[in-house]
Amino acid sequence: MKKSGVITIIILFFIIIFAALITFTFFPQFFSIFGFGNGQSTNSQTQQSSGQRGARSASAVRVTPVVPDTIERSVIINGEISARNQITIFPAIGGRLVESFFSVGDRVNQGNVVAMIDPSRPGEVFSRNPVVSTVSGTVLQAPFSIGDTVTTQSGVLVVGDLSSLIIEAHIAERFVASITLGLRASLMFEAMPGETFTAEVTEIAPVLDPLSRTLRIRLRFLTPDPRIRSGMFATISLVTSRKTNVPVIPRISTINTYGSWIVFVVDEKNIARRREITLGLENEEFVEVLDGLGYGDTVVSAGQNFLSDGDLVRIVE
């Protein structure tokens, strides 16, 4: 019994020593509470890590200088090309269309007989009545065929002057206040990708359409192009506001914080400084700066979302 008790004590002694070594190795702060172990080493490690956190590396950013430039705000709408002078030719009497002398695309002169109408009824015979064009131009539409019955309200032909084309479009009510005569627009056509054509507003309807709540406008081409034809569909960028020689910066450089707009400016020591700014005219790519920046300031245009005031930055191209 005595020998086994000694063995038990020796085993317990080694277990305690082993446990102490493990605790000292992996949990040194436990011993530092009682003034033992490597408390000084722990403190130096803490100071070292704190120093590493304090010495942050420079953030890579891209910058853009504030320069005077021109900025425009546009409204994108759709429009249709048509002839400026487009007239519908009506018969003077109703009856059966027995002859048609012109088809779509033919040239018609004022006074030409374009069709013949037979007003005869069963049991009655009347002379044929001519349909005379009241204008000169190109036949744009010929909706009836020989044998059709027409009335005095049936347009036998639609004749237009294709030498002068217009663009007709409709503006939503919220943009009506910014539409004025002479307003410039850029036009693009699917048939001519990559090309832009210029036009200006020449006519504004006095009232809005009560059903669609839109305002009809008409534009004319500043530089006519023979490839543009009546009936084509155009995408119109209508310039509603324009300012020249104002401070302009990329829209992506601005940050909205609780209703305020800020940017970061890099000083001569490559330190990022926070600036609150006031925005003016803006579009999808750029914004005008009314207050908070001056010409020559260098604004961070990429990487600003990870900056704080006073951060060291590294400018990259």
CATH number of 59-70+244-315: 2.40.420.20
Among 32-41, 102-111, 130-139, name the one with the lowest average pLDDT: 32-41
Closest CA relative to residue 221, chosen from 203, 201, 204: 201
Query: What are the pLDDT digits (tens) for 21-56?
Result: 666 565 555 445 445 444 444 444 444 444 444 445
Report how far residue 276's alpha carbon sits from residue 254's, in angstroms, rounded to the nearest whole number: 10
At a CB cut-off of 8 Å and minimum separation 6, what does 305 contact?
Answer: 255
Residue pair 75/170 in contact by the 8 Å Cβ criterion: no
CATH class of 86-160: mainly beta
CATH number of 74-82+163-243: 2.40.30.170
**pLDDT of amino acid 28:** 55
Q: What percent of the chain has pLDDT over 70?
A: 85
Is the overall model pTM greater than 0.75, yes or no?
no
